[in-house]
Amino acid sequence: MKEVMHADDVIPKLMARTGETQQTIFARELEKYEPRVAEISALVKEHELFFAQVEQAFGRLISTSKTLVQNEASARNLAQRTGQARRLIDTLRDAMQDLVDGEAFYNRLAAQATQLKQHKDSYVAARKAEAATLCASIKAEQANQQQRQLSESLRRLNLAPGAAGTGAPTSAAPPATASAGSAAPAATYAPM
């Protein structure tokens, strides 16, 4: 059932096509029902007036038994209309309540969609911050590793057998660490 509902969901397609948000789409969809709500409200009032008139007429008929006897067929017809009017009013009230419930549902749905977007945005921001921290850590580690390799290479060059025999001075050992943005220390050595 969920798959069928998901397959029938046109809101993402509609949003992609129109560039609108769910809130504006829901608001626009609810506005489509406002004329029907007004029409239903007018019908309810009209039927309530009719019902009041029917009750008054029915009361007058009951007050006089002679009129009641003479108009028995009319009374049955009137009672039938009264029952129909009551059923119609109940149906209209149910429809109005359903519209109110639907609007509340869409408002809750829009609020949950907004909350979900906020959670997504904070999650993405946290992951980006973690990625930046991890990249900085990796770059620092790579810089330290390159510095160690350079220091080791310079140390080997300074200890080479040909360098000691030429009488050329050797440089002091380079610093153990260097920042990632600094240039590698220059070394002097005698060619072989």
| Residue 147 domain flag | no
User: For residue 45, what are the CA distances in angstroms to 65, 68, 84, 94, 106?
Assistant: 31, 28, 15, 15, 27
For residues 114 and 170, the model is more confident at 114
pTM tops 0.75, yes or no: no
- To the nearest whole percent, how much of the chain has pLDDT over 90? 41
| Residue 168 domain flag | no
Domain count, the chain: 1
Over the chain, what is the mean pLDDT? 78
| Residue 189 domain flag | no
The whole-number pLDDT of residue 53 equals 92
| Residue 159 domain flag | no
| Residue 133 domain flag | no
Nearest one of 106, 116, 121 to 23, comparing CA atoms: 106
User: Which distant-in-sequence residues (6+ apart) come within 8 Å of 114 by Cβ?
Assistant: 23
Rg of the chain in Å (alpha carbons): 43
98: containing domain: 2-125
| Residue 36 domain flag | yes
Reading the block at residue 152, the tokens are 């080791």
The whole-number pLDDT of residue 192 equals 43
| Residue 65 domain flag | yes
